[in-house]
Structure 1
Amino acid sequence: MRRTHAALLLGVVLALGVALAVPLLADHVAAQRVDDVSATVTDVGTVDESTVAVDLELSNPAPRPLVVPDGSSTSGVYALGPDGEAVNEPRRTTVDGATLPAGGTGTITATLELKEAFHGQGADALAGTTLRGTLTLRLDGAFLETEITAPVGGDGG
């Protein structure tokens, strides 16, 4: 009788351990995959003489959904020209976020304020640039960051 109770107790402890370990392992794998998020520019539009909106399709390779929260970019998103100079004020970039499904894609809109030298050019100011910067992502309540790089087409779109 004692052996039966001991075996039952051991079975319960093992089952509980597995039940607790699997979600933790899945979160760990998802967090590791955040660095593999990729970005593609799908559209660039003029908001006004000093502001452009850039639609970015983000792909989420993680086995869990990722949330890109609305708000300001943590370190800014730079639109870098061929000479390496930013055409926008990176600390003034805002993001309209989205939820990226596990293994899927989602679209966010980044609104960039152009430097004064580029006012009046609208979306054309981004022609031939590359967007680079850091996006904040949320995974099950934890905030993580990922670097993005996405070339903008030669026509600004």
Structure 2
Amino acid sequence: MNLVELLVITGNYYTSIIFIAAIILFLLKDKESALFAFVTFVFFFIGITYYPFLIEWDSNKLYRYPIWILHDTLWMGLIAYLGLKDKIHWRQSVLGQLFCIPLLAVNFFRALDMQFIQMYISTTAYRIVYPLCEVAIVLLCWLPIFVYLKNKLFTKPQPA
């Protein structure tokens, strides 16, 4: 199994895990967090849907990185807009954008490295930063569930 196959498989798992988080948050009636998870799920789903076609179509590795930069920028813009309109929690919006900035930087650096420098020095950063940021975004979708469980399980009832 090579790196590309591993990233596709983990992308599928991330998408499923985010979808489960969105359903749980919807059932918990946390509309803002559920919307954040749902928007993230949609973007992850779109990403894993077009990924095989993009890899096949872009055999010269010229367009895939700008397309991924555009994809991540659209997600960042949408969650920023929803955060400003108080449709999602502003903390999730800001943290999601902060976790996405390294993805944009790595994709930009990777595009430069593959097309102009051709030394492939971006491979290590790409293999480390990309999965870490994606895991952080997945955890950001689950964070409200963990907070809810902490509040339910570890708060002591106050005597009257």
> Please, what TM-score do these two structures have when normalized by structure 2?
0.25
Which protein shows a greater Rg? 1
**Which has more helix, going by share of residues?**
2
